[in-house]
Amino acid sequence: MPYQPNRVYRKESITVAFMVEQLQKAVGLPVERVNQVDDTLRLVVESELNRPGLVLAGYTELFTYQRVQILGNTENRYLRHLPPEQRRRAFQNLLQFPIPCIFLTDNNELDPELVQMATEAGVPVYRTPVPSTRFMALLRDFLNDQFAPQMTVHGSLVDVYGIGLLLIGKPGIGKSEVALDLVERGHRLVADDVVIVTRKEETVLMGTGTDLVRHFMEVRGLGLIDVRAMFGVRAIRFQKRIEVVVKMELWDPEEEYTRLGMVEDTYRLLDVELPMVKVPITPGKNITVLCEVIAMNHLLRHYGYDPAEVFAQRLSERIRQKASSVPLRGTEYFEQDYE
């Protein structure tokens, strides 16, 4: 499906095979296969997990079987304390539902007979030495990422002084050129032209490029540029949190632009309000330097210093003092350092 800007996407499912592979490679969790079952046929459809203790005990009315099932110390000790026949019946309570898979945490093991029952039912079983609480936290974070809402945005994402600036604007306005200039000045490119935005948490948006384009840039008049090959690995990032939106637009004399910064504009992405700065494009204006100042100003605010607020306090104090309308010098005495 072609990329459609501003359309929200969300994965409906992932295979158990993909999940296990990513847990091993991307997350770094040690996961061992217990039985030989085709795990490409089993699907995971949500990020929540389940520990089926009540199901093993016989209560199946509210069983969320569509979730990944975790058998920790409690569940495994319960099974081990049962007589063989009751143990099989308890485990069958679990296998009668189309569950995606079973994870045995903290190096727990199932009886070979129970493993065989799972194999016959087509249910993959895995084992990990990681304790249940830690394993579930990591697995839930991975699944939250997989099923998080995402969308494609036409723009450029650059890491400037550690702040993720999303440059947006009409096609041809110069987003790629500004991003390239920022890279040349030592900043890091995340994505150009197509930025895939994912909402990791309620107020956290992460951005990355596509698997096809990665760190290639299209600059009108030059064509394609491989930023990594030209500037080195220090000039790129694979992901970055989006913190400020920089909207580039042609100068419009009828438009009201921020001058004192007393009122902040916002830009809504995936139901998250991000601070936005409108930058009017006029001949001779250095947009790259403005982007650096926007990033540094955001850093100042993050650490508790707001220039607009400081100026407003100073102005209020001057009004309260009822000072003369004649502007005062910022320096009371010029020392003899004429240059």
Q: Which of 259, 320, 322, 329 is catalytic?
A: 259
Check if 39 is active-site: no
Q: Which of 39, 188, 193, 199 is catalytic?
A: 193
What CA–CA distances, in Å, run from 276 to 70, 259, 285? 43, 14, 19
Query: Rounded to 5 degrees, what angle do the CA atoms 166, 220, 278 make?
Result: 30
* Contact criterion met (CB below 8 Å) for 103 and 130: no
The DSSP code for 43 is: E
Specify which residues 195 forms β-bridges with: 153
Of 185, 189, 184, 187, the C-alpha closest to 155 is 189
Check if 111 is active-site: no
Neighbours of 148 (CB within 10 A): 19
Q: How far apart are the first and last CA of the chain?
A: 65
The SS3 of residue 193 is strand
Check if 241 is active-site: no
Q: Which of 42, 67, 127, 175 is catalytic?
A: 175
The letter for the amino acid at 175 is: K
Q: Where are the beta strands (DSSP E) in the chain?
A: 8-9, 14-15, 32-33, 43-44, 49-50, 68-71, 102-104, 125-127, 150-160, 163-169, 188-199, 205-208, 216-219, 223-226, 240-241, 244-250, 265-269, 272-281
Residue 96 host element (H or E):
none
Check if 259 is active-site: yes
Q: Which of 11, 51, 154, 301 is catalytic?
A: 154
| Residues recognised as catalytic | 154, 175, 193, 259
